[in-house]
Amino acid sequence: MKKLIQKIREKKGFTLAELLIVVAIIAVLVAIAIPIFTTQLERSRDAASIANLRAAYAEAATSLLTWDGSATTVDGHAISKSGTKTTIVIADVAIKSQDANNWSGQGTDLPFTAPTDPGDNTDHDASFEYDSSTDAWTVTL
């Protein structure tokens, strides 16, 4: 019984040195994780921007297909033709990227030539230009 009471009275815990080592290890792990997290966050923003551009492209292609050739707007989008090039403007396309980093390399397999990544996290009017002689689409923001 005496030994049990003595064990209860003995105070055990971590030393200051042990606690400082644990805090230092956690700090190193956080210092490694933050850049990785921010890079992945920007990649996800770029992916959302590319998805928004794809949706705007679908709207532009639909507008071109339904255009009768005489109106200046189709489905609420401005449209004009000059020679073999037809331009359709899709307003307020959400561009979420915050770094002008060429869409984190995700803009390569698009059905149109990707515009320059502005990296400003704002909505832009996307101007889709279709060239009927080359059957190619280009986009500018």
Q: What are the domain boundaries of the chain? A: 14-140
d(CA 125, CA 111): 19
Residue-wise pLDDT for 16-69, tens only, equals 899 999 999 999 999 999 999 988 999 999 999 999 999 999 999 999 888 888
3-state secondary structure of 71: coil
Residue 42: what residue type?
A: E
pLDDT score for 107? 82
Cα torsion angle, 112, 116, 121, 127, sign: negative
Q: Answer whether 105's CB lies under 8 Å from 80's CB.
A: no
Has residue 1 got a pLDDT over 70?
no
Separation between Cα atoms, residue 65 and residue 86, nearest integer Å: 11
Q: Give 82-136 pLDDT, tens digit per residue.
A: 999 999 999 999 998 888 888 888 888 888 888 888 888 889 999 999 999 999 9
Q: pLDDT band for position 76 (50/70/90)?
A: confident
Beta carbons of 112 and 139 less than 8 angstroms apart: yes
φ, ψ for residue 70 (rounded to 5)? -115, -30
